[in-house]
Amino acid sequence: MTRFSGLAAPFAPHAELAGELLPHAFAADDGSHDASHLIRVWKNALRIQAEEGGDTRRLAAAVLLHDCVSVEKNSPLRAEASRLAAEKASAILNGLGWSAADISSVAHAILTHSFSANLAPETLEARILQDADRLDAIGMVGAARCFYIAGRMSSALYDPLDPLAESRALDDKAFAIDHFETKLFRLADGFQTAAGRRLALERQARLRSVLAMLLDEI
């Protein structure tokens, strides 16, 4: 038994592939990029793929390996994380005997999924992965991940004197809820698929509700 035992099943119909890739999928002990994140992204991807189409085998590999290299949010190398992950994923899939075309497709999806990399996805699978991953950054889970990461980065929840940054510059390295405005609320405008955009609007409304409730309580 390994710590990955049982985790492959949620990746049906590609549980066997998941069993091969999960040992390579995690680069750090980060609860915002762990097995539960991968499972949620896969479920998001399947919801989108059911409407948009796309190759589920390539998509599963891209989901499983999109965070296989970890670079902390506050690292100057953050924008390089998806490139490094794409390179590592290519080597892993090559070792498993995947074709050059399939490897290239998966690597492109991983390379372009990242908000920090700011690269346009050019294939359907890449567009689905980007949407599926960004769906996990908004909504209730997105709020939870935001506060979790703020704790890892030793950030405060909010500026007690000016929580909405009405008289100061936004600073999401110092205050968790500043990240809602600097990034999270901006994500819904950039979704690549019709299905993803519809889901994003629903989750963004939840995210705004979280912020409104927090502001009411403070």
pLDDT in tens, 95-104: 999 999 999 9
Same-domain status, 66 and 153 = no
Residues paired with residue 187 on neighbouring β-strands, in sequence order: none
Write down the mean pLDDT value for the chain. 91
126 in any annotated domain: no
Q: Is the pLDDT of residue 2 over 60?
A: no
Which pLDDT does position 3 carry in this prediction? 62
For residues 91 and 9, give the distance between their C-alpha atoms in angstroms, rounded to a whole number.
24
Q: Considering its fold, how many domains does the chain have in total?
A: 2
How is residue 184 annotated by DSSP?
Answer: I
Same-domain status, 97 and 161 = no
- The more confident residue out of 153 and 94 is 94
- The pLDDT tens digits of the residues spanning 177-193 come to 999 999 999 999 989 99
Closest CA relative to residue 191, chosen from 137, 131, 133, 142 = 131
113 in any annotated domain: yes
129 in any annotated domain: no
Which pLDDT does position 168 carry in this prediction? 96
How is residue 138 annotated by DSSP?
Answer: S
**Domain limits at 199?**
137-218
Closest CA relative to residue 11, chosen from 79, 19, 3 = 19
For residues 86 and 92, give the distance between their C-alpha atoms in angstroms, rounded to a whole number.
10
Same-domain status, 74 and 114 = yes
Token digits of residue 50: 């059911």
Burial call 35-49: b when 16+ CB within 10 Å, e when fewer? bebbbbbbbbbbbbb
pTM: 0.90
124 in any annotated domain: no
